[in-house]
C-alpha cells in the first residue's frame, strides 16, 4: 500500500541557504507512514511544474514563506496546486504566516496556517489529514519545545552537492538553537518566540557535524542560529566536541558584541582552535544614543573590542549596520558611517554592509511607527513588494540615501585586495580619507559595467 505523499516547497529567493525549516518538518514526520518530497524553487527551472508533478496525488502541500518576494512565488505555486488538485490541503508556515496568520487565510488557496515552531503542529496536521479529519484555519504555535527532543535533520532529503555548487563552497547550513532572549525594539523575533531560546546539546552537535563531514565532505558548517553564542558554557563544551573530533572543518556563526566581550579572550581563542573562522555581528548603529533607543543592550566599545578580538585571532567578520530609523539625526547617521569605515579599514577580512530601516510588525518601533501614521502594506500582494534589504525606507531623504549608497561603494572598494583593483582602490581610499563622495564617476562606471547584484 502506498504511503500518503507530503510535498514541502521552498519559494524562490536570491540566496542559497538550505531550506532547513522544511527539513525540520520532514524529519519530524514518520517516514514509514508518509512519503515526503521537498521541492526547492531556487533549484528548479520551472518550480510550478515541479510542484504540480510532485503534488499530483498529495495529501498536503507545506510552504515556508518569508516576507517579500517569496510571497509572490508561494502564491503562484499554491494557487496552481489548488487549481489542479483541490483536495490537496495547502499549509503555510514561516515568518510571514507567523505574524500575519489571518491575512494569509484570506487567500483562497491557503487552508491552514502554522505559527512559530512548526514540527509538532505540522506532524499533527498531517496525521489528522491522513485520518480523514477536517483541519483548517490558523493553528497557533505550542510553547517553544526543547530542540533536543526533536529528531536530527535528515539532509538526505536535499540534493546537498547541488547546494555546494550554488554556494561555491562545500558548506552545510545547520541550526543548533532557536529563539532569542534579547529585546531589540525593531526585531520581530520576540513576537514569534516570546524571547525564549532553546539549544541542542554540544555532544549532539559534535556528532551530527562529524557525520555531515563524513557523509558529504563538508568543509564548512554555517550555523544559522539567531544568537549562537547565547550560552558561553555551551560554546565551551561545543569547542571541546569539535576538538575531540579533530576539527576537520571550519565554521561560522552569529555573535553579539556584548556576548563576545563576555566570552573573553581564552574562550574565544579556544573556539578559533576548534574551527571558528567567521562571525556575523549585528551592530545596527554607531551612535550610543541610537543603540539605547533600539534596546540593543550593548556599548559601542564592545563592538570595537569584538573587532579587536577577531583581528587578534584571524577571524573574519561581517558587521551589519542599519540607517534611516524614525527620528534618527544626521549626527547619528554620521556616527554609523564613521564606525563602519573604522571597522572596514581595520581588517581586510571585515565587511560592513549597511541597510535601511523598514518597519516590520511585531515590535515596539513598528507599533510606534504605525501610531505615528506609517501605513504598512495591506494584503499578500502588497507584502510581496516589501523589500527590507534594498528598500530606502520612509525616514531617509533622497540626499541621505545618495550619500549612504556612495559611501557603501567606496568603503567596499577602498580596502578590497587584488592587483587589478589598485586604481579603484586608490581613488576610493582617497575619498574615504577625505569623506568626499561627490561626483561618483567611478561608481557610475563600475555599476554600468557590472550592475549591483540583487540582494532580496
* CATH number, domain with residue 32: 3.40.50.280
Burial status of residue 347 (CB atoms within 10 A of its CB: 0-12, 13-18, 19 or more): middle
Answer with the one of 342, 377, 412 that is the final residue of a domain: 377
φ and ψ at residue 38, rounded to 5 degrees: -105, 130
C-alpha 440/C-alpha 413 separation (Å) is 13
pLDDT 10s digits, 392-401: 888 999 999 9
Same domain, 243 and 363: yes
DSSP letter (8 states) at residue 328: -
Same domain, 139 and 201: no
**What pLDDT shows up at residue 342?**
98
Of residues 438, 413, 416, the one with CA closest to residue 427: 413
Pairing of strands 350-351, 316-323: parallel
Which residue's C-alpha cell is 489548488?
82
C-alpha 84/C-alpha 57 separation (Å) is 10
Same domain, 213 and 133: no
C-alpha 311/C-alpha 43 separation (Å) is 37
φ and ψ at residue 397, rounded to 5 degrees: -70, 165
Same domain, 196 and 139: no
Pairing of strands 316-323, 276-284: parallel
**What pLDDT shows up at residue 141?**
67
Same domain, 134 and 174: no
**What pLDDT shows up at residue 456?**
53
State which residues form the domain around 127: 5-143
Residue 331 maps to which CATH number? 3.20.20.70
**What pLDDT shows up at residue 14?**
84
Same domain, 92 and 22: yes
Q: Is residue 396 part of a domain?
A: no
Q: Is residue 334 part of a domain?
A: yes
C-alpha 137/C-alpha 131 separation (Å) is 18
Q: Is 390 left (phi over 0), alpha (psi -120 to 50) or beta?
A: alpha
Q: Is residue 211 part of a domain?
A: yes
Same domain, 209 and 254: yes
Same domain, 248 and 176: yes
Give me 399's grid cell: 540626499
CA atoms within 13 A on the CB side of 183: 6
Same domain, 184 and 329: yes
Dihedral angle sign, alpha carbons of residues 275, 176, 296, 262: negative
DSSP letter (8 states) at residue 59: S
Structural domains in the chain (count): 2
Same domain, 206 and 116: no
φ and ψ at residue 428, rounded to 5 degrees: -65, -40
Same domain, 128 and 183: no
Q: Is residue 275 part of a domain?
A: yes
φ and ψ at residue 215, rounded to 5 degrees: -75, -40
**What pLDDT shows up at residue 362?**
87
Answer with the one of 340, 358, 377 that is the final residue of a domain: 377
Residue stretches of the chain with pLDDT short of 70: 1, 138-141, 389-390, 454-456
Single pTM value for the model: 0.94
Answer with the one of 377, 401, 423 that is the final residue of a domain: 377
Q: Is residue 332 part of a domain?
A: yes
C-alpha 212/C-alpha 208 separation (Å) is 6
Which residue's C-alpha cell is 552537492?
161
C-alpha 158/C-alpha 181 separation (Å) is 31
Q: Is residue 338 part of a domain?
A: yes
Same domain, 222 and 343: yes
Of residues 430, 49, 11, 360, the one with CA closest to residue 188: 360
Amino acid at each position: 500500500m502506498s504511503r500518503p505523499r507530503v510535498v514541502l516547497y521552498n519559494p524562490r529567493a536570491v540566496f542559497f541557504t538550505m531550506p532547513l525549516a522544511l527539513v525540520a518538518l520532514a524529519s519530524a514526520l514518520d517516514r514509514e507512514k508518509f512519503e515526503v518530497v521537498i521541492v526547492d524553487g531556487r533549484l528548479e527551472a520551472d518550480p510550478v511544474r515541479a510542484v504540480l508533478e510532485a503534488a499530483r496525488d498529495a495529501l498536503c502541500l507545506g510552504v515556508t514563506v518569508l516576507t517579500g518576494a517569496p510571497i509572490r512565488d508561494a502564491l503562484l505555486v499554491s494557487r496552481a496546486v489548488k487549481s489542479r488538485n483541490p483536495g490537496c490541503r495547502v499549509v503555510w508556515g514561516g515568518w510571514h504566516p507567523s505574524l500575519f496568520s489571518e491575512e494569509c487565510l484570506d487567500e483562497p488557496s491557503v487552508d491552514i496556517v502554522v505559527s512559530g515552531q512548526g514540527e509538532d503542529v505540522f506532524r499533527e496536521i498531517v496525521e489528522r489529514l491522513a485520518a480523514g479529519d477536517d483541519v483548517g484555519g490558523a493553528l497557533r504555535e505550542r510553547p517553544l519545545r526543547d530542540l533536543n527532543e526533536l529528531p536530527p535533520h535528515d539532509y538526505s532529503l536535499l540534493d546537498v552537492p547541488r547546494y555546494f555548487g550554488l554556494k561555491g563552497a562545500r558548506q552545510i547550513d545547520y541550526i543548533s538553537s532557536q529563539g532569542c532572549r534579547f529585546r531589540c525594539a525593531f526585531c520581530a523575533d520576540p513576537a514569534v518566540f516570546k524571547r525564549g531560546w532553546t539549544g541542542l546539546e554540544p555532544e549532539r552537535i559534535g556528532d551530527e557535524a562529524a557525520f555531515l563531514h563524513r557523509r558529504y565532505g563538508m568543509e564548512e558548517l554555517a550555523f544559522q542560529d539567531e544568537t549562537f553564542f547565547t550560552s558561553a558554557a555551551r560554546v565551551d563544551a561545543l569547542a571541546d566536541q569539535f576538538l575531540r573530533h579533530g576539527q576537520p572543518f571550519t565554521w561560522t556563526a552569529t555573535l553579539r558584541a556584548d556576548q563576545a566581550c563576555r566570552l573573553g579572550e581564552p574562550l574565544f581563542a579556544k573556539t578559533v582552535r576548534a574551527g571558528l573562522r567567521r562571525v556575523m555581528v549585528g551592530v545596527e548603529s554607531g551612535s550610543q544614543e541610537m543603540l539605547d533607543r533600539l534596546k540593543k543592550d550593548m556599548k559601542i566599545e564592545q563592538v570595537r573590542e569584538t573587532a579587536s578580538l577577531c583581528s587578534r585571532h584571524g577571524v573574519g567578520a561581517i558587521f551589519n549596520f542599519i540607517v534611516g530609523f524614525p527620528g534618527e539625526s544626521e549626527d547619528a547617521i554620521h556616527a554609523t558611517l564613521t564606525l563602519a569605515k573604522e571597522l572596514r579599514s581595520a581588517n581586510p577580512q571585515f565587511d560592513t554592509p549597511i541597510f535601511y530601516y523598514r518597519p516590520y510588525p511585531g515590535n515596539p518601533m513598528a507599533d510606534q511607527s504605525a501610531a505615528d501614521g506609517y501605513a504598512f502594506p495591506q494584503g499578500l500582494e502588497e507584502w510581496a513588494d516589501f523589500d527590507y534589504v534594498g528598500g530606502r525606507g520612509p525616514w531617509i531623504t533622497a540626499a541621505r540615501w545618495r550619500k549612504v549608497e556612495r559611501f557603501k561603494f567606496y568603503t567596499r572598494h577602498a580596502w578590497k585586495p587584488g592587483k587589478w583593483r589598485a586604481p579603484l582602490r586608490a581613488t576610493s581610499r582617497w575619498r574615504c580619507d577625505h569623506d568626499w563622495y561627490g561626483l561618483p564617476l567611478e561608481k557610475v562606471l563600475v555599476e554600468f559595467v557590472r550592475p549591483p547584484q540583487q540582494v532580496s
